Structure 1
Amino acid sequence: MKKSIIAAALVSGAVAAGAAFLLLRTDGSAPQAMAQSGRPAPASRLVDLRIPARLSAAAEAGEAAYNQFCASCHGVNAAGQADTAPPLVHVIYEPSHHGDLSFVRAVKQGVRAHHWQFGDMPPVVPAPSEDEIALIIAYIRELQRANGIN
């Protein structure tokens, strides 16, 4: 029994390590994203995204709030910015790993660096309202879904 538990733990650890290796380089930064054409994404943004042709009304309002409160660090369309902040349209931020409440807490309280090497995120000041935060999350989640992150 103990051997099967140990074996399962080793396999789980190996799978997690493999996933981390695929998602992050050894320095903790995002891998170089490739555009659909096969060319690297511009150096300033960290991922190349598919942008939906049409956003819901909530996501459109969220895009405006995102641009006001978040884009200066996380980049246009949440694609991240080299040496500044990570992309939010990334598998690390899928809803099953970082739920909506994680975004709310990050905005209000900041967050200690744990997936990336950008340093700690301070609270957003001035802070968006609760309604604006909800719209920002709607925008980010629509971008994620358009890029296969569910």
Structure 2
Amino acid sequence: MNNRLLAGASFVAVAAAGLWWTFQTEPASTAPAADEAGSALAEVLLPETLSANAQIGENIYLSQCADCHGVDSVGRAGIAPPLVHIIYEPSHHGDEAFQRAAALGVQQHHWSFGNMPAVEGLTRGDVAMVVDYIRELQQANGIN
């Protein structure tokens, strides 16, 4: 009888601990929130200053990328992900990944926004400047 009581008490304790843990941790999802279409998906802290290359990259980004990825790379619900996100840290998506995405497009793989088309009219130099801008935004937000 005592063994059943002990087993039952152990089960209840483990279940309670599991429930507590579930509600204490953040979900590890990369799916965007179900926000209003086009709304920002991230909050981005802006650096106090940008390097000269990043300033040029910001201008290119605003004319070529912001319609989908949002001003300051905050992403847009239902359209495109934020680029200031841990998924795009340099060790996971290096600079060449951005070059290839702009030149060739990219198949959906981390998010559920669909495939990204190639961006017409950008040179490798243009994309390098955009990457400098994104990397400086990432650094200002603790993504290195």
Place the TM-score, normalised by the shorter chain, in its bin.
0.7 to 0.9
- Unaligned stretches of 5+ in structure 1? 1-20, 33-42
Q: Report the equivalent of 1:136.
A: 130
TM norm structure 2: 0.76
Q: Deviations along 1:105-124, whole A, 9 cap, x unmatched?
A: 00000000000000000101
Structure 1 residue runs of 4 or more that deviate by more than 6 Å after TM superposition = none
In angstroms, what is the RMSD of aligned CA positions?
Answer: 1.6
Which of 39, 45, 49 is the aligned partner of 1:54? Answer: 49
Q: Report the equivalent of 1:29.
A: 32
Would you say the 8 A contact 1:49–1:79 is kept in 2?
A: yes
- Are 2:115 and 1:120 aligned? yes
Q: Shift of the alpha carbon at 1:85?
A: 0.2
Higher Cα Rg, which structure: 2
Q: Shift of the alpha carbon at 1:66?
A: 0.5
Would you say the 8 A contact 1:23–1:30 is kept in 2?
A: no
State percent identity of aligned pairs: 51
Q: Report the equivalent of 2:78.
A: 83
**Count of equivalent residues:** 116
Q: Shift of the alpha carbon at 1:30?
A: 5.2
SS in 1 for 2:103: helix
